[in-house]
Amino acid sequence: MAKKGITPRGEDYSQWYLDIINQAQLADYAPVRGCMVIRPNGYAIWEAIQRELDRRFKDTGHVNAYFPLFIPESFMKKEAEHVEGFAPECAVVTEGGGSKLEEKLYVRPTSETIMYAMYSKWIKSWRDLPLLINQWANIVRWEMRTRLFLRTLEFLWQEGHTAHATAEEAEEEALMILDLYAEFSENVLALSVVKGPKSDAEKFPGALVTYAIEAMMQDKKALQAGTSHNLSDHFAKVFDVQYQDREEKLQYVHQTSWGVSTRLIGAVIMAHSDDDGLVLPPKVAARQVVIVPIWKSDKEKTAVCVAGSELERDLRKAGIRVYLDDRDQYRPGFKFNQHEVEGVPMRVEIGPKDLEKKSVALKRRDGGDKIFVPMDEAVGKIKEQLDTMQRDMLARSKKFREDNTKDIDGYDAFREFIGSDSGWASSHWCGGADCETKVKDETKATIRVIPFKETDTGKCIICGKDSPKRVIFAKAY
């Protein structure tokens, strides 16, 4: 029997992931095939992601709006590459108000078409640009094989859609958002990422270029944590989004779109958790600190609960999300276990002996021994420990990715490396689609990202032709 109902990672990584989600009450399968219910503990992680990203979007001049869930079939069909990419995985409404519809409505798999039809109406002049809109919404894609948070029929996301006067401004925006996503992933989610463009085969249907950030999970697979697309004037021409420039000439706008989704919750779970349950970076945790008072007699109870309550108040004043667990019906051991499984970053214990010594015991969820600190220094120490934990988790994520990313030369070595699930291969690639397909067919690895930072030239591991730089090949979620 697995400890706490959690299968060890080393034994079965997929089952471990599902066990964590189940035991920490993060999500549940719904009675609709492939759909999930995001339970309060899981949704709280999404709320933290929303809060942190929304602030960053607004600080960079974006505003939120809301566009319809339904897209008429004729709109979907306007952009050939787009409809080919998305139509096969759509849910389709054919009846409404008790009657058959004249035109089918697609449940949005993404909102380019419906949004740009409106942009065409709203944008008239250079004065209306740039238009910087973001939407928080639910999305439906008819996936056949689903996995909680990572791939479900319905998921939640944000999609930014901007329009600019020039190609340069659109490229700047796409790259600015990529940096924003990377900074957010590292500083909030404690996920170290690699930035760069995707190969043509992996880019968004209809985009000129797709930039992505990729993170490494504990099983050394890659997970795409966010994408930012430079759409050029491709959609503008299809949806006739034009503006009058300062010389009163009509010009097409240049656009970007970008998004992250609830699959980030899956990334946070898979990157940081251990065999005892969920581990959350403090910035993502709904409850950053739990105070557990420990008592035997009623007299002791009053004393430790009063002390706990005072500490709770002081921590809250200091901006820390804290919860005093003074529930009567559970014993301390039960509480310790629950908070551990649910990933509360820090536990504070206050027992009668601690009160005597005027100290409290702190225990970080990401490891290390209990430490004892004087009561009157507790707030400062807790804050410091939370900050350190946030940094340590990012450092571990970075080290793990770097340790498991290897320069691999030669196709035999490559097949051996990928076949044994040894990590990410940083290998030379000529840029050809045939070589990319061959690797995918033979090893299941895909090109995750073409890192900005790589510079050395070499020979393609597949065909031996010249390669401008190394790219990251890996199996991915």
Q: How many residues bind a copy of itself (CB under 8 A)?
A: 57
Q: Which is nearer to a copy of itself, 268 or 425 (CB)?
A: 268
Any residues with CB less than 8 A from the CB of 345 and at least 6 apart, and which?
280, 281, 282, 285, 288, 289, 364, 365, 366, 386, 389
Q: Does 76 bind a copy of itself (CB under 8 A)?
A: no
Which range of residues in 35-43, 161-169, 299-307, 440-448 is near a copy of itself by CB under 8 A? 35-43
Q: Which stretch binds a copy of itself (CB under 8 A): 102-110, 376-384, 393-401, 444-452?
A: 102-110
C-beta closer to a copy of itself: residue 88 or 368: 88
- Binding a copy of itself (rule: CB under 8 A), the pick from 16, 17, 43, 149 is 43
For the chain, the distance separating the N- and C-terminal CA atoms, rounded to the nearest angstrom, is: 28
217 three-state secondary structure: coil
- In the list 20, 48, 90, 236, the residue contacting a copy of itself (rule: CB under 8 A) is 90
Nearest distance, CB of residue 65 and a copy of itself, angstroms:
5
Please, are residues 208 and 196 in contact by the beta-carbon 8 Å criterion? no
Instruction: Give the SS3 label for residue 62.
Output: coil
> Is the previous residue joined to 88 through a cis bond, with omega within 30 degrees of 0?
no
Among 5, 61, 88, 380, binds a copy of itself (CB under 8 A): 88
**Contact range with a copy of itself by CB under 8 A, out of 15-23, 43-51, 354-362, 436-444:** 43-51
Cα–Cα dist 262/257, whole Å: 17
The encoded tokens of residue 271 equal 């990157």
193 is a site residue for a copy of itself (CB under 8 A): no
Residue 56 touching a copy of itself (CB under 8 A): no
Give the SS3 label for residue 39.
coil
Structure tokens at 306: 């009063």
Q: Quick one: which of 53, 76, 117, 285 contacts a copy of itself (CB under 8 A)?
A: 117
- For residues 116 and 252, is the Cβ–Cβ distance under 8 A? no
- The CB-side HSE value for 338 (13 A sphere, CA atoms) comes to 14
Q: How far is the CB of 373 from a copy of itself (least distance, A)?
A: 30
Among residues 11, 12, 81, 89, which is the contact residue for a copy of itself, using CB under 8 A?
A: 89
Is 260 a binder of a copy of itself (CB under 8 A)? no
Which residues, numbered 147-176, are part of the site for a copy of itself (CB under 8 A)? Answer: 153-154, 156
Segment contacting a copy of itself by CB under 8 A, of 91-99, 252-260, 355-363, 437-445: 91-99
Place of tokens 């809060």: 51
Residue 18 interacting with a copy of itself (CB under 8 A): no
Q: Which of 14, 60, 64, 457 binds a copy of itself (CB under 8 A)?
A: 64
C-beta of 154 vs 366, nearer to a copy of itself: 154
372 beta partners:
361
The first and second tokens of residue 223, run together, are 């997970």
Which residues partner with 243 through β-bridges?
A: 251
**Considering only residues 120-149, where is the footprint of a copy of itself by CB under 8 A?**
121-122, 127, 133, 137-138, 140, 142, 144
What CA–CA distance (Å, rounded) separates 105 from 102?
Answer: 9
Rounded to an integer, what distance in angstroms lies between the CA atom of residue 350 and that of residue 407?
50
Question: Measured between alpha carbons, how far is 117 from 161 in angstroms, rounded to an integer?
Answer: 12
Answer positive or negative: Cα dihedral of 105, 108, 110, 115.
Answer: positive
Residues forming contacts to a copy of itself in the complex (CB under 8 A) are 28, 30-32, 35-40, 42-44, 46-47, 63-72, 75, 87-98, 104-105, 107, 114, 117-118, 121-122, 127, 133, 137-138, 140, 142, 144, 153-154, 156, 329
